[in-house]
Amino acid sequence: LGLSGPPGAGKSTFIECFGKMLTERKHKVSVLAVDPSSSTSGGSLLGDKTRMTELSRDMNAYIRPSPTSGTLGGVTRTTNEAILLCEGGGYDVVLVETVGVGQSEFAVADMVDMFILLLPPAGGDELQGIKRGIIEMADLVAINKADGDLVVPARRIQAEYISAMKLLRKRSKVWRPKV
């Protein structure tokens, strides 16, 4: 599964909860977390693993943060090979967390079975902020943080995305993206 979304959408938190649920069901889970690299130093914080403390201690989970090192598209130059290595190593679920969201942060969509766009319910002008390119590539749009005071905004964003996705060209003859 490939996951992308804007900063603050809760990608790492979602992955940790989902990953723990999968390992409790006896799956072996690999997380490939891609972080942006500094254009000045070339370094990267690689902070995603620190936000997945429970999953990082799970013996049936493997978390590998990697810097983009200038690669565009939200992944690293070797993400596809890393997915194959994880599968070969016995991990039956591989989650790839991209750098974040932008008009072209969807290179992972061609590497995975399902591409998920994770969105917060109250991020502003969502349809303008999340450009058409990434919406067209999404197999699933998940509205995250949809509880408490955010239930109503989450339902509104869901309705907006359902309407918007009806206008897009279909990528598959059998699958219709869900929101």
Residue 87 lies in a domain: yes
CATH assignment of the domain containing 139: 3.40.50.300
Q: Express each pLDDT in 68-110 by its tens digit.
A: 655 555 666 788 899 999 999 999 999 998 876 655 566 778 8
Neighbours of 36 (CB within 10 A): 15
Report the C-alpha gap between 40 and 166 in whole angstroms: 42
Among the listed ranges 8-17, 40-49, 60-69, 81-90, which one has the minimum average pLDDT value?
A: 40-49
Residue 13 lies in a domain: yes
Residue 120 lies in a domain: yes
Residue 102 lies in a domain: yes
Contacts of 88 (CB under 8 A, 6+ apart): none
Number of domains in the chain: 1
Residue 172 lies in a domain: no
pTM: 0.83
Please tell me which residue, 129 or 89, carries the higher pLDDT value: 89
